[in-house]
Amino acid sequence: MQKHLLTTKSLSKEEIDLILQTAENFEPYARKEKRGDQLKGKVLGALFYEPSTRTRLSFETAMIRLGGDVVSVADIGTTSMGVKGETVADTAKVISNFVDIVAIRHPEVGSAEEFANNASVPVINAGDGTNQHPSQALLDLFTIKKELGKIDGLTVGFSGDLKFGRTANSLAYLLANYDVKLKFIAPKALPMKQKVKDDLNEKGVNFEETEDFNAGLSGLDVLYVSRVQKDRFTDMNEYEKLKDVYVLDRKLVEEKSPDMLILHALPRVNEIAKDVDDLKGAAYFRQVQNGVTMRMALLSMLCNL
Amino acid sequence: MQKHLLTTKSLSKEEIDLILQTAENFEPYARKEKRGDQLKGKVLGALFYEPSTRTRLSFETAMIRLGGDVVSVADIGTTSMGVKGETVADTAKVISNFVDIVAIRHPEVGSAEEFANNASVPVINAGDGTNQHPSQALLDLFTIKKELGKIDGLTVGFSGDLKFGRTANSLAYLLANYDVKLKFIAPKALPMKQKVKDDLNEKGVNFEETEDFNAGLSGLDVLYVSRVQKDRFTDMNEYEKLKDVYVLDRKLVEEKSPDMLILHALPRVNEIAKDVDDLKGAAYFRQVQNGVTMRMALLSMLCNL
Amino acid sequence: MQKHLLTTKSLSKEEIDLILQTAENFEPYARKEKRGDQLKGKVLGALFYEPSTRTRLSFETAMIRLGGDVVSVADIGTTSMGVKGETVADTAKVISNFVDIVAIRHPEVGSAEEFANNASVPVINAGDGTNQHPSQALLDLFTIKKELGKIDGLTVGFSGDLKFGRTANSLAYLLANYDVKLKFIAPKALPMKQKVKDDLNEKGVNFEETEDFNAGLSGLDVLYVSRVQKDRFTDMNEYEKLKDVYVLDRKLVEEKSPDMLILHALPRVNEIAKDVDDLKGAAYFRQVQNGVTMRMALLSMLCNL
């Protein structure tokens, strides 16, 4: 196991499988059926340089329910690190004196790696700009395996903003280790990053691209939905054309792939209609509990290196 | 006992008396004389969509001193739930995966109920706009009973802004279950809400109204003070006339009802002069300790349903 | 031992030595080698009316690693105490009901003392405007003693903004109890406060002043670096002349006092060049760990009065 968790790109299939397997053991703790003390005496530093509630509370809950403690910075924008202009490297050296492990979210690509390079404790990248969010991708993969019983052989679609979203990136790199077919369904303005596609090609991953949301939904085992945000577009005509197209509703699901598993990193705004929530495949709220499970596994594995 | 605590309106006299009685058992813990472990293994989610220090720390302290843990969002305005536009219903489904019980403050009337309807864990309304703040009203009632030894037979005045304040509402509904006389002393622009008065009438509660602050103070056993805020007025002449009238000072107390119990949910600005603080009946700082006591009782009762 | 820690000015040499000695016992806990339960059942209120991450997390970490708990207000500017205009005195009376000990940072000189005068629990001043930051000064002194093995006989320089900085103040008062020579190296616009110099003169402390940064560095055993901030100057010509002069780099250190111990309360912006970091005397990151050690000692001593 690596010292830090900064990207899904560098994880081997063996490491991924070990993480998925380890996570299974933590399910009773995440379901609040058991309380553990595996992390007793350990302190997590939850450093969120960007607003986030879901991810921060998920990490904090995971830590606490295994007997650990937490110190948090919920919005570093207003703290000394933001205001007074300290470098990420200095912050890493300072924080290493306080905590046993760090989960960091930061708006700049590469910031988590820079932090890790200067820290003396394990670091989990909880989102660095448009780059990576590995713990989210691992919980997504864990959800797929738990819901469908397998990963090999699946056709996985990714819809919405694949250019700026970091979770689709991170999950694509994980899936590249399995025998899967990927389908990127994105507006012309927001395609999957070229770098990711080059890497997938190099690994020989079978993937296709389409801008046609409705057509793209056919034949999917899994659909991973991302939001399409207005402020990502430079051409407002393009946005106006698309804004109501990339909305998944119950009718569409039932027409195209009625049994598909539907995932979303949340928060959901209107890209999934409320009438989808009751479908058997709508797993986005169950995903949240898997998030606690996965973070329990990751915190434990990295703390007990 | 109900699953959630959303309003004082739906509590029966039996439930109220049970809560008051249960709270008594927690006094040594709130006074820091004993440390408990009644809530060991339980996690409170303190979700404050509006700034609050007093109420949040009161809940957190209550949880911690009974061995529980806390995850907090101190100002959700700046977090993903505020910024990214997630519905209260979705937030409730997400947060239910993290914690065992929720205390939520939110600017919109009905938000706590909406949250509870979508949560799988107990929810305490810690203030929803101008509507209700039931844990505050219960600690107020607990303070009255503790300080005066009884509730039946008392004349209780409410002064200040009774239109927008939620604590006066909540307390009035509790008192409606006892043999009391209520007096609403409020500027013409800020009277007790009509709906509350209708409900009190229906229950046969004896109450009167006056705009005359000084006269209203006579014959009271208890005075519950609320602030009169400038930004609540549309007519500034009206405000100018009233701003110095609704100020309780020592001289007034001694003239009108020297033995009355004086309560305030705090923070106090200038509606109670500092020279009142030393009076025997000035109970507003003792109220704070009762707040920890009451929240210990409520957290325990709801967690161990 | 005093009930509160509000200023270094009132500490006797005996008290300072006792604190330094006590701190030594906590080093294994701060180094994460041991976990204690000396503060089990105690709750720290970390009240930060000004942005701070370093100091707040240092206190929280110290508390947690000795088995205590924490409730925090990370930016009181946006909370009820800021927004709704409660006095510091009222806040102190309220907070005393929640916690066993308080660490408070507040922008106004004297606010910590005002808080302590109204609190029923011990209070540590974690920075009150330009006045004092005693726990920082104690950890600075602890670092000097630990790194150099002694305090008596040393020549200690203070550079940068000595007018608005509170840490230099606080450390100067501590050092005044020992046989030291002090050198204040500051721009004409930002000299050490007259009141401090008067107090040092009265105690017979040997000190000198200079505006010449380079010359001032000669003959030092210790250099305590503070930032020079643009917004402190009224004369921008003066600022332009000085901004690049008060920058410590490796070449300067090696020329002037190659073996000197270099301290900084952090965050560092550009007043110490990165090439200084690898020098043996660059102790500013080790200082951070001593901060946890010192806060463990202070919390323990004040909680167990």
pLDDT at C94 over 80: yes
Strands A222-225 and A155-159 turn out to be: parallel
Residue B98 has its nearest CB partner, among A35, A61, A74, at: A61
CA-derived radius of gyration, chain C: 19
User: B76, B99, B132: which is the final residue of a domain?
Assistant: B132
- Tell me which residues of chain A have a C-beta less than 8 Å from any C-beta of chain C: 40-41, 43, 45, 69, 71, 73-76, 78-86, 90, 93-95, 97-100
Examine residue B4 and state whether it is found in any structural domain, yes or no: no
Q: Mean per-residue pLDDT for B57-82?
A: 83
User: B87, B109, B132: which is the final residue of a domain?
Assistant: B132
pLDDT at A84 over 60: no
Three-state DSSP at B125 gives: strand
Three-state DSSP at A66 gives: coil
- Residues of B whose CB is below 8 A from A272: none
Overall domain count for chain C: 2
Known active-site residue C105:
yes
- Give the tens place of pLDDT for each residue, A88-100: 999 999 999 999 9
Examine residue B7 and state whether it is found in any structural domain, yes or no: no
Known active-site residue B8:
no
Q: What is the pLDDT of residue C180?
A: 98
Known active-site residue C133:
yes
C88 and C214 share one domain:
no
- Give the tens place of pLDDT for each residue, C241-277: 877 789 999 999 999 999 999 999 999 988 999 999 9
pLDDT at B80 over 70: no
Please tell me the distance from the alpha carbon of residue B127 to that of residue B224, in angstroms, as a whole number.
Answer: 18
- Residues of A whose CB is below 8 A from C54: 80, 94
B277 and B144 share one domain:
yes
Residue C267 has its nearest CB partner, among A69, A90, A99, at: A90
Examine residue A224 and state whether it is found in any structural domain, yes or no: yes
Examine residue C267 and state whether it is found in any structural domain, yes or no: yes
pLDDT at C150 over 50: yes
What proportion of chain C, given as a percentage, has pLDDT over 70? 96
Average pLDDT, chain B: 94
With bands split at pLDDT 50, 70 and 90, how would you rate the model's confidence at C83?
A: very low
Q: What is the pLDDT of residue B75?
A: 67
Q: Mean per-residue pLDDT for C40-55?
A: 93
C270 and C283 share one domain:
yes
Q: What is the pLDDT of residue A49?
A: 87
Please tell me the distance from the alpha carbon of residue B282 to that of residue B259, in angstroms, as a whole number.
Answer: 10
Please give the residue range of the domain that contains residue B76. Answer: 35-132
Q: Mean per-residue pLDDT for A209-213?
A: 97
- Give the tens place of pLDDT for each residue, B194-222: 999 999 999 999 999 999 999 999 999 99
Q: Mean per-residue pLDDT for A9-25?
A: 97
Instruction: Tell the residue number behind the tokens 């040499």, with chain if given.
Output: C13
Which residues are within 8 A (CB) of B156 and not within 5 positions of it... i.e. 6 or more apart? B144, B175, B180, B181, B182, B183, B220, B221, B222, B223, B224
B154 and B231 share one domain:
yes
| Residue A159: closest CA among A186, A196, A132 | A186
- Residue C162 near residue C182 (C-beta atoms within 8 A): no
Residue contact A266–B86, C-beta within 8 A = yes
Q: Where are the beta strands (DSSP E) in chain A?
A: 43-48, 69-73, 101-106, 123-128, 155-159, 181-185, 206-210, 222-225, 261-264
Q: What is the pLDDT of residue A80?
A: 46
Examine residue C151 and state whether it is found in any structural domain, yes or no: yes
With bands split at pLDDT 50, 70 and 90, how would you rate the model's confidence at C80?
A: very low
- Chains in contact with C, where contact means 3 or more Cβ–Cβ distances below 8 Å, are A, B
Residue contact C268–A90, C-beta within 8 A = yes
**Residue C46, beta-bridge partner list:** C72, C103
Best mutation target among B50, B54, B296 (most C Cβ atoms within 10 Å) is B54
Q: Mean per-residue pLDDT for A261-289?
A: 96
Known active-site residue A133:
yes
Among A191-195, B119-123, C243-247, C254-258, the minimum mean pLDDT is found in: C243-247
- Give the tens place of pLDDT for each residue, B259-284: 999 999 999 988 999 999 999 999 99
**Residue B272, beta-bridge partner list:** B248
C163 and C274 share one domain:
yes
- Give the tens place of pLDDT for each residue, A147-185: 999 999 999 999 999 999 999 999 999 999 999 999 999
Q: In terms of CA atoms, which chain C residue is nearest residue A79?
A: C51
B51 and B121 share one domain:
yes
Three-state DSSP at B106 gives: strand
**Residue B279, beta-bridge partner list:** none
Whole-prediction pTM value?
A: 0.96
* Residue B102: count of CB within 10 angstroms of its CB: 27
Q: In terms of CA atoms, which chain C residue is nearest residue A92?
A: C285
Out of B4, B65, B105, B183, the active site residue is B105
- Residues of B whose CB is below 8 A from A52: 79-80
Q: What is the pLDDT of residue B234?
A: 83
A107 to chain C, closest Cα gap in Å: 18
C204 and C240 share one domain:
yes
Q: Give the helix, strand, coil percentages of chain C, each rounded to 5.
A: 40, 15, 40
- Residues of A whose CB is below 8 A from B41: 35
Known active-site residue B105:
yes
B193 and B259 share one domain:
yes
Examine residue B179 and state whether it is found in any structural domain, yes or no: yes
Examine residue C29 and state whether it is found in any structural domain, yes or no: no
C141 and C282 share one domain:
yes
Please tell me the distance from the alpha carbon of residue B101 to that of residue B138, in angstroms, as a whole number.
Answer: 18
C175 and C197 share one domain:
yes
* Reported ipTM exceeds the 0.90 cut: yes
Best mutation target among C39, C57, C276 (most A Cβ atoms within 10 Å) is C57
Cβ-based burial of B206 (10 A; exposed 0-12, middle 13-18, buried ≥19):
exposed
B139 and B128 share one domain:
no
- Give the tens place of pLDDT for each residue, A230-240: 777 788 888 88
Q: What is the pLDDT of residue B240?
A: 84
B264 and B160 share one domain:
yes
Examine residue C28 and state whether it is found in any structural domain, yes or no: no
Q: Mean per-residue pLDDT for B173-195?
A: 96
User: B88, B111, B132: which is the final residue of a domain?
Assistant: B132
pLDDT at A227 over 80: yes
Q: Mean per-residue pLDDT for B8-25?
A: 98
Amino acid identity at C53: T
CATH number of the structural domain spanning residue C182: 3.40.50.1370
pLDDT at B116 over 60: yes
Please tell me the distance from the alpha carbon of residue A208 to that of residue A181, in angstroms, as a whole number.
Answer: 8
pLDDT at C78 over 60: no
Q: Mean per-residue pLDDT for B27-37?
A: 96
Please tell me the distance from the alpha carbon of residue A141 to that of residue A146, in angstroms, as a whole number.
Answer: 9
